[in-house]
Structure 1
Amino acid sequence: MTGGDVPVRVALRTTDMEEARAFCRKVYYEPLRIDPVGDPDRFDFSADVVELGPITVGEVAYGTDIRVAIGALETAYHVLVPLTGVLRSRHRGMVVLADPTRAAVYRPTGDIELDWPGTCRMLSVKVERGALERELDAALDQRLVSPMPLGASFDLVDGPGRTWVALVRLLLAELRAPEGLATQPRMAARWRDMVVSGLALTVEHPYGEEPAGLQGPYRPRTVKRALDVMHAEPWRPYTTRELAAVAGVGVRVLQDAFRQHVGMSPMTYLRRLRLDNVHAELSRADPGLTSVSDIAYRWGFTHLGRFAGAYRERFGVPPSATLRDQP
């Protein structure tokens, strides 16, 4: 890593798997495996990454479905934000389905497995362990445990998550520009600090509702609890009453909270989450080995007629067209 105020940009576009693996190990983590599970002829790796002191920010895509296995990060916390597509992530016994509405968060301990579809272009943010822990330690009036027991994901639709990811994307765009303001060392250092402090404000942790002095528009814990169980197992036949019980409130309270903080009812959100996962799986499935009904049932849709109508309304085509059009 170079000096903390001097951004260093590294980029690669290649169809060579070994070259892509070497790049990712050098820029991110050494104990890393990348294996294609889709058509290897469609492998088209692209990465545009900027290192700025304790943070490494970039956009990464593979062009075909891959599986990534990473050993314990040890020295960093990491956030993955799909800009397109849906990422299936397993870390410390938790399954997270990340998409443009929800980020996945990784602690320094515990192996990571990622099912990364070729349709998924990722915003990747690595933050050195000490930098994030110092930031939270400065904001909290109590001793922290290291590594911090952060939540496995956070919301990007509204609140601090939306602001943080917009900040990261703007920083990356500015650092790519040859004469952007963020390429100036003093401005780069300030922006770098904003990314770290913004992440400390955004991630969930057990040290109180919010860091002292960093109050922000957090979603209520009732909403977070319901979102967490839906993202962990979206195929389960939840009812609004069951989600309200998980959240610890009445049905009407949960519905009102979702409309205020998510912009839709719990069941509408769950249906959209399931549809997005069906779409992602249909987009990479072999029509000779599976069917629309198999995938729909797997993601919790039991009435195929209503499912097909909802799918067409969301994606503009019937589900059979998505499956049929795959190479």
Structure 2
Amino acid sequence: MLAGPQPFSLHLDRPLGPGFRAGALLSVQVLERLEAGRWLVSIRGRRIPVSAEVPLEPGARLLARVMASGGRILLRVTQPAAGPETTLAPAPAERIAAAFLAAGLNPRPEQVQKVRRLLERLRLPSQSHARLAVMLLQKGMDLDSPGVAELLADLAYGQSGGRGRRQARPWPGKPERLAEELRGHLRRSGGGQTAALPLFNHLQIHPEQWFVVPYDYGEVSGSIRLRRRSPAAEADRLVLTTDGPWSFVLNRKDAGYRLQAICAGTPGARAQRGWRRLAQKLQNLGVETDDTIRGDEGFDGFSLPGEAGVDTEG
């Protein structure tokens, strides 16, 4: 645990990069001690070395605010560390039930509790991970399998609770044995990176199929998520998540496309101007855009608030 409950600072060895504005609150996970006074931490899936004024415990989670001091960026820890044994607030059942409905499923109490236990056990945010856990259930996965944590880290790549930079993986098997092989990978995965992500993408589910592709582009990482309504249909939605506060949703509308921007928190004037410039350029290419930037409340990384799932089971 931490030496004392008083606030303290984490000093970064390198800039956080775009998407980390001053005043923002971040969840910081302590990974390991590097040397005296220096630690490796994870912030939104990035592994970042920091200097700390007090001893830290690997596995602890901190709540820190981004601060600017003397031309440098530091993280001011505003809450004492939570050690690995500390339990977080329960994942809200309402948000999990909403994830089932968005996936076109009836939220049965026993399944809601399975997802809730998984999120609490792995200490994952329900807004970004409940829908992913529901997808695992749709594909027949056992949420108690040890490899589930590794697969979720890939599916939520770049986000809080997701994985950092990834390595290429070989294609492991034949299409007709996808489900069996995926379950086998989950059972065998005790550490390191799981090889189950390609298999996850090829398993068909009803009423809609999502494909998740992690990416790294310069200082930005996240995932590209494509939706297809049937095996023969073209993709009708693309969601781009980032390791910052931004997500983008591109929908196919009749013969064209419409793009929406989603931001966690209140976008500043600079972001608003940038969005208007981007919208103008896209409109010249025939892509419609929303006039405003939407907040992320209720956005699960796949469906927009107010959208209903298709063919809900009885």
Q: TM-score, normalised by structure 1?
A: 0.28
Q: TM-score, normalised by structure 2?
A: 0.29
